[in-house]
Structure 1
Amino acid sequence: MKLSARRLLALALTALPLTLTAATPASPSFAEDAAVVAFARDLEQRHGFNADTLLGQFAQIRPNAKVIQLIKPPSTPTQRSWERYRPRFLNDRRIDHGIRFWQENRAALLRASTLYGVPPEVIVAIIGVETEYGRNTGGFRVLEALATLAFNYPPRADFFRTELEQFLILSRENQLDPLAVKGSFAGAIGIPQFMPGSQRRYAVDFDGDQRVDLSGSVEDAIGSVARFLEQHGWQAGQPVAVPAQLAGQPDPAWLEAGIRPTLSAAALQQQGVASTADQQAKVALIDLASPGKETEYWLGYDNFYVITRYNRSSFYAMSVFQLAEAIRERMPR
């Protein structure tokens, strides 16, 4: 006897194990977490929020496993490699888009540079490294990402709980729906990828529309990046970094001194570190290592250190600096 296709399908489905057909239970919402309830009640007491309204918003989000996956250090850390890192940001596409971004926003960049003392190319390069000039601002719900890290990632729970608080205050100040704001898996927002606390401390209404909008206003993003650097100690008209040549291996103490400039350029010169650095300056020795390659050395000034306040990585700061230089050099006069 021949069986119809429909009958064959029915028999196949009944033969499947129950574990394959049963629905996977959804994670409880954050509103069911006692720590989140306590957090909402605390914000009600300290900042005048309505705790029930907050819990209604937390009821619409759940812990995001992808956020935890992305924030965790790799189980088998790879070696630092400047050779691998640099091409991600130093490439023709990012340079060409940077030139176009500068040309399209020349007036805002000039105004920000004049007001805060930060060169236009540095502002452009930071936005280029962060989001490729606003093209990649993140697709995670910021409320969900921050709540996940605040309540489900113990290593940095205190930091992210503070940022979650700042985000809710920021949303109220700017009349934003917290559930609608998108950003990175770590909760960074907009064209320049400011964390909520940084946005409240450093961002500016640079387009004059009476609100700070880092997601929709390129002018606000430009002004905010410049002010962030200025507030962290940018020195107008001063250099960022210069290449260095070492006679042999560096003294470990030079690298242990860290990224803040504390070493004497003159003393380093006398000990075999050749450079064009101002001999009166304090500098940091920057090592850009690549496995199997000679380490590239630079001397970083205060402005290099300021760039690391945006992202605490010498690779990041050097990428910003070199991208800025490449854009400036190719920018039509």
Structure 2
Amino acid sequence: MILSFARPGIALLTLTLSAYCSAAYFTDRADVQAFIAEVSARQGIPAAELRTALEGATPLPRVIELVKPPADPGVRSWQRYRSRFIDKARIQGGLSFWRDHQQAIADASARSGVPEEIIVSFIGVETVYGRNTGNFSALSALATLAFDYPPRAPLFRRELEELFLLAREQGHPVESYKGSYAGALGYPQFLPSSIRRYAVDGDRDGDIDLRNSPTDAIYSIANFLVEHGWVPGGKIVMPARIADEAQAARLVAAGILPSLDAASLQAAGVSSMLPADSNEHITFVDLVSPGGPTEYWLGFRNFYVITRYNRSSFYAMVVHDLAQALRSAKASAPARTANPR
């Protein structure tokens, strides 16, 4: 919704602000009423229960500004993006988190085949090990995006419905959930649908609590990756070189789903350590930094699985790089000794 501050629009501004302040901002609307009726019929949730919850939701124009893509995105920079996540503080924080939750991380890794450092890296990238889980009302954020942000309304309406189902299943008030501006929750920043499908009770206390239980988050991340096809012991990425930029662009255009093979890469002039007789399906990844060299990588099945968490090659690569930095730092850290008695 656009707020006009031009003098001729003062009356419109007043009306718009009044609408935002109305207790029935959502439930007075025909689209919201239709949503209530549809969800009630589909899920068996009383319409009055849905209506009461949405009457208590507050429109949050700020979340729309945060979720919208930049008006002038320019050229994305891999080096700038990477520097946001790979630094001394995040590595040291990761080592502390790893040490504090060593048993849960080791067990989740052994059960799933997902390396320990990958599990820790996800939590580091998403919330700096639980420090930044968000404090937006998930109900208000999802309602605002579901009904006031048309470009992605279908996604957020589904997640709003999932939030109501999650609250019923967990026995918590729907208004009690706090998270990011997009409605993502807890240490791993799962959307409600992902919590319902992939989250697990890692600490076995009878409650899945991704906001307060790092153990639940650890097991849930491992389970998410397994459910999306993680290959235990499989490669994630491998560096590559190519001189022909036109060929590189063609390979990148093949998409994020691994569909290339060793023969097609070699025919395009790609040089790598990939065996010529490899039968693995591969993604060709370019990491562009304006003013600097473009990095080329081969992404394997596990790279693709990481992108199911966030559908960005930059994201998948930074999870990989932080994991490698954590593993290296852990290996070189001095062994802890018992305090002398």
TM-score by length of structure 1 reads: 0.90
* Equivalent residue letter for 2:287: L
Which deviates more from structure 2 when the two are superposed, residues 52-61 or residues 169-178?
Answer: 52-61
* Equivalent residue letter for 2:161: E
The correspondence of residues 28-177 of structure 1 with structure 2, limited to 5 A, is 28=22, 29-177=25-173
Over the aligned positions, Cα root-mean-square deviation in angstroms equals 1.8
Which deviates more from structure 2 when the two are superposed, residues 239-248 or residues 193-202?
Answer: 239-248
> 1:94-118: per-residue Cα shift (whole Å, max 9, x none)?
1111111111111111111111110
* Equivalent residue letter for 1:310: Y
Q: Distance in 1 between matches of 2:178 and 2:166?
A: 14
Q: What secondary structure, in the 3-state scheme, does the structure 1 residue paired with 2:282 have?
A: strand
* Equivalent residue letter for 2:126: E
Task: Find the counterpart in structure 1 of residue 18 from structure 2.
Answer: 25
1:268, distance to aligned residue in structure 2 (A): 1.9
Which deviates more from structure 2 when the two are superposed, residues 93-102 or residues 60-69?
Answer: 60-69
Matched, 1:327 2:326: yes
Q: What secondary structure, in the 3-state scheme, does the structure 2 residue paired with 1:191 have?
A: coil
Q: What secondary structure, in the 3-state scheme, does the structure 1 residue paired with 2:297 have?
A: strand
| 1:201–1:278 distance in 2 versus 1, CA, 3 Å | farther
Which of 171, 178, 185 is the aligned partner of 2:174? 178
Q: What secondary structure, in the 3-state scheme, does the structure 2 residue paired with 1:172 have?
A: helix
> 1:177-218: per-residue Cα shift (whole Å, max 9, x none)?
111211111110110000111110111111101121111111
Highest CA radius of gyration, 1 or 2? 1
Task: Find the counterpart in structure 1 of residue 256 from structure 2.
Answer: 259
* Equivalent residue letter for 1:63: P
Q: Distance in 1 between matches of 2:77 and 2:101?
A: 34
The correspondence of residues 301-320 of structure 1 with structure 2, limited to 5 A, is 301-320=300-319
Task: Find the counterpart in structure 2 of residue 190 from structure 1.
Answer: 186
Q: What secondary structure, in the 3-state scheme, does the structure 1 residue paired with 2:244 have?
A: coil
Gaps of 5+ in 1: 1-17
| 1:234–1:250 distance in 2 versus 1, CA, 3 Å | farther
Q: Distance in 2 between matches of 1:48 and 1:260?
A: 37
Q: Distance in 2 between matches of 1:48 and 1:254?
A: 48
* Equivalent residue letter for 2:18: P
* Equivalent residue letter for 1:321: H
TM-score by length of structure 2 reads: 0.88
Q: What secondary structure, in the 3-state scheme, does the structure 1 residue paired with 2:296 have?
A: strand
Q: Distance in 1 between matches of 2:47 and 2:156?
A: 19
| 1:25–1:106 distance in 2 versus 1, CA, 3 Å | same
| 1:168–1:278 distance in 2 versus 1, CA, 3 Å | farther
Percent of residue pairs bearing the same amino acid type: 49
The correspondence of residues 191-206 of structure 1 with structure 2, limited to 5 A, is 191-206=187-202
Q: What secondary structure, in the 3-state scheme, does the structure 1 residue paired with 2:245 have?
A: coil
Q: What secondary structure, in the 3-state scheme, does the structure 1 residue paired with 2:266 have?
A: helix
Which of 208, 212, 218 is the aligned partner of 2:214? 218
* Equivalent residue letter for 2:321: Q
1:159, distance to aligned residue in structure 2 (A): 1.1
Q: Distance in 2 between matches of 1:244 and 1:96?
A: 30
Task: Find the counterpart in structure 2 of residue 284 from structure 1.
Answer: 283
